[in-house]
Structure 1
Amino acid sequence: MSNDVVKVFVGCDPNNCDLEQMMVLEYSIKKHSSLPVDITWMQLSRDEHSTWYANPKQKEGWNTKKWATPFSGFRWAIPEYCDYQGRAIYMDADVVVLSDIKALWQHPMNEGTIVAAKTDADMTRLCTCVWDCAAAKEWLLPISQLTTDPDAHQSMMDTIKNNPQLITPYVDSYNCVDGEDLPIDDIKILHYSDMGTQFSHRYALPRVEKEGFSHWFDGQVMPHPRPELDALFDRYYQEALAAGYTLDDYRIPAFGTFPKKTHKRYKGNNITRSNKPKSLFARLFNR
């Protein structure tokens, strides 16, 4: 496997909201990688021949109305996209890679499993994972069903939750959610997961407003609790620009409006948000 090209699939917004994230992610992968890398940006498309095709008005293609992001359900299509052959890495766009991706690409997988991912007591995190595409065929819905069933994404999440034998756990720091309690030197892949505290907002939000459209995240924006991680993103952002990367490298014709969940009541995660006890009023009204 040492001569392989690492196949990375990244879920991202189709209206150019995630350009900063995309640039930093690609730069960070290639900065550290000892193997060649091929990145597929998974974005909703108006092209009827695209795997990511959607036409919400005509109710064709991907149905995103129950997704929290513009790409939540795409990860399940990757093994079929790869003709159920070889391996494939999936990542959300809000990731900075701080180590050689070769180690994740070649991570051992237990017999009978279909994906290597981060696990804990109550969930498996598939926001950075490695698919065994051939093994996954038996368990994943076909793209024809993934695209049309609005409940398909949740159905697949339930399949993974109810069948833990399908998961090979990997080292937690390959999907370090908002830094957790680790120093930067111990983080292999940083996932700045809380959509309200994402480092890219300081660049993306004013840019998209200037360009005359709205960002897909419509919840409350707040500072990240770890400023040194914020500074890390800024350093990689500036390094990418100095290395010749530009935001326009990732710009596409905007897809336009698509249905999705609102983030008005988005709560982030326990790593970035206070765990202070809620008032009775807040508990009653889920706020």
Structure 2
Amino acid sequence: MNSEVIKVFVGCDPNNCDLEQMMVLDYSIRKHTQHPVEIVWMQLSHDPDSPWYSNQETQEGWHTEKWATPFSGFRWAIPESSNFEGRSIYMDADVIVLCDIAELWSHPMNNEAIVIAKGGKSTARLCTCVWDCEKAKQHLPALKELQADPEGHKKLMQLIKEKPELVQPYQDSYNNIDGEGLPIEQIKILHYSDMGTQFSHKYALPRLEASGQKHWFDGKIMPHPRQDLTELFDQYYQEALDHGFKLENYLVEPYGTFQKATQVNYHGNKVTRPEDEKNWFNRSIKYLKSAFRDKKRFSLDD
């Protein structure tokens, strides 16, 4: 195991909005493991030879207009990008790893499953998961087909719901959503999933504003309800800098304008916004109204 390279694919913004998240995630992975790790940053690209290629003007490559994030559909291309060999981990960029990533990498998988993820059945979450790339080949469309279908991400999420045997559930704390009532010591991988309360905003938004740029998230920004988790991110952010990690190491040539769904009506999750969840009637009315105004709604795991 020590000589095996753990391959981690990370979905992130192509216009340098997520630099703080990328640095903290990178540092957190390497802090807790002695195993060799290769990180592939999945970002929209103008390069036709890139698996993340998208030409928004000519409608070539990835169609992103129905995605909630700049990378929502990329996770389905990981097995082919890994040559349908071995295992590959997928993570969103808004993650802090608090355990040895080798634990997740070596998690047992049953014969039918093609991916290890949180939950199961209709609640499976693929925002942190482990692909068996060879077995996934028989269930996933080819890359070109994935890229060309604006509904591809939605269809494959539905496939996972209809065939729960394809998902091997793991311990929930490998994809802990915004704390979920657990102390930090019991969290293996923290996914600060609510896009409105992300810890990185306090660093990223001023940086972007200084350069005349806007963040891709266009919903309401608010404090995270867990101060200890906020402090944890700050701690890892400073530790990364102290260990020689730099934001500029993650800079890319900005991709430019791309299409995606808006988060103007985004409501986070029941962990960060429990009062919103309790008021289900008002939320249902808001949802119906927004559905008529904007067809680009999305679920939490998009």
Shorter-chain TM band: over 0.9
CA contact (8 A) 2:115 2:167 kept: yes
Once the two structures are TM-superposed, the CA of residue 112 in structure 1 deviates from its matched residue by 1.3
Once the two structures are TM-superposed, the CA of residue 2 in structure 1 deviates from its matched residue by 4.3
CA contact (8 A) 2:121 2:164 kept: no
- For normalisation by structure 2, the TM-score amounts to 0.92
State the match for 2:15 in structure 1: 15
State the match for 2:279 in structure 1: 278
Q: Deviations over 1:140-190 (max 9, x none)?
A: 111111101000000110011110001111011000000101100000000
Partner Cα distance (2:91, 2:284) in 1: 33
Q: Aligned runs of 1:53-132 on 2, under 5 Å?
A: 53-119=53-119, 122-132=122-132
Partner Cα distance (1:151, 1:272) in 2: 29
Structure 2 residue 218 is the aligned partner of structure 1 residue 218: yes
Partner Cα distance (1:90, 1:282) in 2: 31
Q: Which runs of 4+ in 1 moved over 2 A?
A: 274-287
Partner Cα distance (1:120, 1:111) in 2: 16
| Secondary structure of residue in 2 paired with 1:25 | helix
Amino acid at match of 2:200: S
Q: Aligned runs of 1:145-224 on 2, under 5 Å?
A: 145-224=145-224
State the match for 1:143 in structure 2: 143
Q: Deviations over 1:67-122 (max 9, x none)?
A: 00000000000000111000000000000000100110000101111000000574
Partner Cα distance (1:107, 1:246) in 2: 32
Once the two structures are TM-superposed, the CA of residue 47 in structure 1 deviates from its matched residue by 0.9
Once the two structures are TM-superposed, the CA of residue 283 in structure 1 deviates from its matched residue by 3.8
Partner Cα distance (2:151, 2:22) in 1: 28
Change (3 A) 1:279 1:101: closer
Change (3 A) 1:282 1:78: closer
Once the two structures are TM-superposed, the CA of residue 196 in structure 1 deviates from its matched residue by 0.3
Once the two structures are TM-superposed, the CA of residue 282 in structure 1 deviates from its matched residue by 5.3
Partner Cα distance (1:122, 1:252) in 2: 36
Partner Cα distance (1:280, 1:82) in 2: 45
Change (3 A) 1:178 1:280: closer
| Secondary structure of residue in 2 paired with 1:275 | helix
Partner Cα distance (1:144, 1:34) in 2: 36
Structure 2 unaligned regions, length at least 5: 291-302
Partner Cα distance (1:278, 1:33) in 2: 43
Q: Deviations over 1:4-39 (max 9, x none)?
A: 100000000000000000000000000001211000
Q: Aligned runs of 1:47-58 on 2, under 5 Å?
A: 47-58=47-58
Partner Cα distance (1:279, 1:218) in 2: 23
Partner Cα distance (1:144, 1:43) in 2: 17
Q: Aligned runs of 1:219-238 on 2, under 5 Å?
A: 219-238=219-238
